[in-house]
Amino acid sequence: MASAGRSHRVLVIGCGSIGKRHVDNLKRLNAGEILAFDPGEDRRVEVRSRFDVETPATLEAAWKREPDVAVVAAPTSAHVALAREAAEHGCHLLIEKPLADRLDGLDALLDVVTRRRLVTLVGCNLRFHPGLMTVKRLLDEKVIGRVVSARVEVGHYLPDWHPWENYRESYSALTRLGGGVILDAIHELDYVRWMLGDIRAVACFAGKQSALDIETEDTAAILLQFVDGAIGEVHLDYVQREYSRTCQIIGDEGTIRWDYVAGEVRLYSGATRQRDVFGNPPGWEPNTMYVDELRHFLRCLAGEERPALDVFEGARVLEVALAAKQAAATGRVVELEGRSGR
Residue 1 in this model has a pLDDT that exceeds 70 = no
Residue 338 in this model has a pLDDT that exceeds 70 = no
Beta-carbon count within 10 A of 289 CB: 19
**Local structure of 259: helix, strand or coil:** strand
Domain ranges within the chain, ordered by starting residue: 3-125+292-309, 128-282+316-335
Residue 32's alpha-carbon distances to 11, 14, 67, 94, in angstroms, are 10, 18, 10, 15
DSSP string, 104-122: TTHHHHHHHHHHTT--EEE
Residue 3 in this model has a pLDDT that exceeds 60 = no
Segment 290-302 mean pLDDT: 98
CATH for the stretch 3-125+292-309 = 3.40.50.720
Confidence (pLDDT) at 2: 38
Q: pLDDT tens for residues 122-136? A: 999 999 999 999 999
- Alpha carbons within 13 angstroms on the beta-carbon side of residue 74 total 22
DSSP string, 122-191: EE-GGGG-HHHHHHHHHHHTTTT-SEEEEEEEEE--GGGTSTTS-GGGSGGG-GGGT-SHHHHTHHHHHH
Would you call 4 exposed, middle or buried from its count of C-beta atoms within 10 A (0-12, 13-18, 19+)? exposed
Residue 273 DSSP label: T
> Would you identify the CATH topology of the domain 128-282+316-335?
Dihydrodipicolinate Reductase; domain 2 (3.30.360)
Residue type, 286: P
Query: What global pTM score does this model have?
Result: 0.94
Beta-carbon count within 10 A of 239 CB: 17
275 forms beta bridges with 268
Residue 54 DSSP label: B
Q: pLDDT tens for residues 90-111? A: 999 999 999 999 999 999 999 9
Question: What percent of the chain clears pLDDT 90, i.e. is strictly above it?
Answer: 93
Residue type, 170: S
Q: How far apart are CA 167 and CA 35, in angstroms?
A: 28
Instruction: Quote the mean pLDDT of the chain.
Output: 95
Residue 163's alpha-carbon distances to 115, 159, 184, 282, in angstroms, are 43, 6, 17, 29
Q: pLDDT tens for residues 193-245? A: 999 999 999 999 999 999 999 999 999 999 999 999 999 999 999 999 999 99
Confidence (pLDDT) at 164: 87
